[in-house]
């Protein structure tokens, strides 16, 4: 395995990496290590829009039919837990701005 470093706020850089590497799989584990609601716009830019930029880079490179994309997200999307344990069909009920931003992204894509 070889790691490639990039910035989720840099669309052109993401396209450059994906077009160079031509990966079969992409695992997005990126996020802020500490979410601050004082920096809510930055949180959305990195965590939510960053994922959207990554998906767009895959599409821009013409690899959207070939690349398996794995997204690690936050339990904040579930918010007020409706069932335990959560699974793919568990309804989202976010209770924080962070959870709502992530949920909004997934509804867009």
- From 76, 88, 90, 93, the catalytic residue: 76
Residue 98: active-site member: yes
Residues in contact with 83: Cβ distance below 8 Å, sequence separation at least 6, in sequence order: 90
Residue 76: active-site member: yes
- CA-CA distance, 16 to 104, in Å (whole number)? 27
Structure tokens at 72: 């690690």
Q: If you search the block for the tokens 């949180």, which residue do you land on? A: 43
- Partnered with residue 69 across adjacent β-strands are 26
Residue 60: active-site member: no
- From 5, 25, 42, 74, the catalytic residue: 74
Q: Which residues are annotated as catalytic?
A: 74, 76, 98
């Amino acid at each position: 395995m070889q790691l490639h470093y990039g910035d989720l706020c840099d669309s052109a850089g993401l396209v450059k990496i994906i077009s160079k590497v031509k990966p079969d799989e992409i695992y997005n584990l990126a996020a802020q290590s500490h979410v601050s609601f004082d920096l809510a716009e930055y949180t959305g830019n990195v965590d939510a829009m960053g994922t959207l930029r990554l998906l767009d880079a895959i599409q821009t490179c013409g690899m959207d039919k070939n690349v398996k994309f794995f997204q690690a997200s936050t339990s904040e999307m579930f918010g007020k837990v409706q069932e335990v344990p959560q699974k793919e069909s568990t309804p989202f009920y976010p209770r924080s701005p962070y959870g709502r931003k992530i949920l909004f992204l997934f509804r867009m894509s």
